[in-house]
Amino acid sequence: MRRMTAALALTLGLAAPSAEAAQGFRFDSIDGGEIALDGFRGQPVLVVNTASQCGFTPQYDGLQTLHDRYGAEGLVVLAVPSDDFKQELSSEAAVKEFCDVNFGLTLPMTEITHVKGADAHPFYKWLKAEHGFAPRWNFNKVLIGPEGEVVDTYGSLTKPTSRKVTRKIEALLAR
């Protein structure tokens, strides 16, 4: 894995403590305030770029299932709504209401956030620069380990509750 230079980190606007750890990043919360990945140190985090008007939107049910099943053991499921693929509602309030009414979501959620391109959030710029992964569509998933390491990435077709995902989550929780 390639090490990030200090110049590259500054260019990307990264706050990560190292090229290996995701924990230095912060997102604006859909509920106001910030969601700091550093606050989840020692816990696995599944970060998912989402959209309310996508064919994969029913995966919200699976994300909530993971949150309900593994949240008490330490898993954090973080939804990152994005309109980069032109399938998100026009405001945070609309997204929050949609997710509450249709899926009863109780997991943390960011404001509508860019996940690709020049305007991508620093977390996603870091993910691409250091791990070669950028969301190619909605509902791409990134599993972050307890120390901030990228454990695995999954495309839209991988359901949140698939064995492929839950096996890795369970292994991280058993550490």
What's the confidence (pLDDT) of residue 128? 95
Which residue range(s) make up the domain with 75? 26-53+61-140+158-173
**Are the C-beta atoms of 59 and 158 separated by less than 8 Å?**
no
Per the annotation, the verdict on 99 as an active-site residue is no
Residue 20 placed within a domain: no
Residue 80 placed within a domain: yes
What's the confidence (pLDDT) of residue 107? 96
Q: Does position 6 have pLDDT exceeding 70, yes or no?
A: no
What's the confidence (pLDDT) of residue 137? 98
3-state helix, strand, coil split of the chain in percent (to 5) is 35, 15, 50
Mean pLDDT of 117-124: 96
CATH code for the domain of 73: 3.40.30.10
Mean pLDDT of 106-110: 97
Active-site residue, from 8, 15, 36, 54:
54
What's the confidence (pLDDT) of residue 12? 42
% residues pLDDT > 90 (the chain): 85
Closest CA to 50 of 1, 122, 98, 118: 98
Residue pLDDT, tens place only, 9-51: 433 444 444 556 898 899 999 999 999 999 999 999 999 999 9
Residue pLDDT, tens place only, 59-82: 999 999 999 999 999 999 999 999
Residue 1 placed within a domain: no
Q: How many CB atoms lie within 10 A of CB 84?
A: 20
